[in-house]
Amino acid sequence: MSAQPSPAESMTANQSPSAPAARPRPRMSTGNRILFFVTAWLIVLMPFLFWWNTWFGRQLSDKQLDEYLRDEKHPRHIQHALVQIGERITHNDAKAKQSYPDLVRLASYPVEEVRNTDAWVMGQDTSGPGFHEALLNLLKDPSPMVRGNAALSLVRFGDASGRPQIVALLQPATIASPIAARVIDADRAGTSVHQNGIVAKLQRGEQTIEIRSPITGRLRSVSVQAGQTVAVGAQIATVDPGTDQVWEALRALYLIGQTEDLLAISPYERELPEIPDRIRQQAVLTEKAIADRSAH
């Protein structure tokens, strides 16, 4: 008598034990869903609100402009108002004249970015009372960018007093160490950098010092590396000026440049990848204008 097959042996190839019933997936509670959607919305909304509040292109009403212009707690609000005033001046909006006393006042504002924007705005109207004198004072500003913007604006007044500052706009900026310290981080040569962008970080004891670029441009050289100790006044880096800065300086020197300025102008006539065609062409035109003035 043959042995009876076991239950497992009696199963055919197309048979299998029945699978256990699938468990229902737990559903997110209504409260958690609301929290999830609110969080996702905030992730999208917050960057937009930041951009909206810092974008200088956003039009201000007359009331907002007046409030922003006097908002001592938020320098970027003052900058925003200044940009709007500059646009109103270029569109011959008579209302802009109401803010002229504030433009003169802000020439001595403690925040560099405000003074820099103010120097540009005052150059938009050569009839502004007190503008010429305020710009002359800004030629002695501690910031090279403020001095440069003031010098460029003075050219519109037919005043070449700021010519040395304009020539300086064509030259690389040298960044030196303010203290003796150890380098803990440094950028690389060839890197683009914005004005006030971090170039290196130093450490002395528990103190960390951020070394920032005074201009927008490209790092020509970096003289330090992480782990190195630097002395006070040691060179950290040099920064070549950005295209916009060079463009404005060359255009100003086209009008007021002298033969001794050609040494700073000629490097921009070279056919190099980092020199755009419009810069090279303007440098050639500026040199020719200077030569013509010298000949006459």
Tokens of 62: 């007359």
What are the CA-CA distances from residue 214 to residues 92, 125, 185, 211, 251 (Å)?
33, 27, 18, 10, 22
Residue 26 belongs to a domain: no
Assess whether 54 and 153 both reside in one domain. Answer: yes
Residue 108 belongs to a domain: yes
Boundary of a domain, candidates 113, 128, 160:
160
Residue 235 belongs to a domain: yes
Instruction: With cut-offs at 50, 70 and 90, classify the pLDDT of residue 39.
Output: low
Q: What is the mean pLDDT of the chain?
A: 86
DSSP of 103-168, one letter per residue? HHHGGG-SSHHHHHHHHHHHTT-TTSTTHHHHHHHHTT-SSHHHHHHHHHHHHHTT--TTHHHHHH
pLDDT at 54 over 50: no
For 138-164, b/e burial (b = at least 16 CB within 10 A) is bbebebbbbbbbbbbbbbbbebbbbbe
Length of the chain: 296
Instruction: With cut-offs at 50, 70 and 90, classify the pLDDT of residue 173.
Output: very high
Assess whether 154 and 184 both reside in one domain. Answer: no
Question: Taking the alpha carbons of 78, 79, 80, 81 in that order, is the dihedral positive or negative?
Answer: positive
Boundary of a domain, candidates 241, 256, 282:
241
Residues 6 or more apart in contact with residue 185 via CB below 8 angstroms = 200, 201, 226
pLDDT at 1 over 60: no
How many structural domains are present in the chain?
3
CA distance 95 to 11: 95
Structural domain boundaries enclosing 114:
48-160
Tokens of 6: 């076991």
Residue 19 belongs to a domain: no
The CA-based dihedral angle spanning residues 79, 84, 90, 95, taken in that order and rounded to the nearest 10 degrees: -120
Position 31 scores a pLDDT of: 66
Assess whether 134 and 226 both reside in one domain. Answer: no
Assess whether 237 and 201 both reside in one domain. Answer: yes
* CATH number, position 150: 1.25.10.10
CA distance 11 to 143: 90
Assess whether 121 and 187 both reside in one domain. Answer: no
- Contact of 143 with 115, CB cutoff 8 Å: yes
Place of tokens 């501690």: 142
Reference 200, options 178, 172, 171; nearest CA is 178
Residue 122 belongs to a domain: yes
Residue 96 belongs to a domain: yes
Assess whether 190 and 223 both reside in one domain. Answer: yes
Assess whether 149 and 87 both reside in one domain. Answer: yes
pLDDT at 126 over 60: yes
Assess whether 61 and 154 both reside in one domain. Answer: yes
Q: What is the pLDDT of residues 178-234, one digit of tens each?
A: 999 999 999 999 999 999 999 999 999 999 999 999 999 999 999 999 999 999 999
Judged on CB neighbours under 10 Å (0-12, 13-18, 19+), 26 is: exposed
At 38 the three-state DSSP class reads helix
Residue 133 belongs to a domain: yes
Assess whether 86 and 142 both reside in one domain. Answer: yes
Assess whether 88 and 103 both reside in one domain. Answer: yes
Position 216 scores a pLDDT of: 94
Position 35 scores a pLDDT of: 66
pLDDT at 272 over 50: yes
CA distance 219 to 238: 6
In the chain, the N- to C-terminal Cα span, in Å, equals 131
Residue 230 belongs to a domain: yes
Instruction: With cut-offs at 50, 70 and 90, classify the pLDDT of residue 57.
Output: low
Boundary of a domain, candidates 241, 259, 277:
241
Report percent pLDDT > 70 for the chain.
80
Question: Taking the alpha carbons of 104, 147, 281, 195 in that order, is the dihedral positive or negative?
Answer: negative
Report percent pLDDT > 90 for the chain.
71
Tokens of 200: 């290196």
Assess whether 156 and 254 both reside in one domain. Answer: no
* CATH number, position 229: 2.40.50.100
Assess whether 221 and 246 both reside in one domain. Answer: no
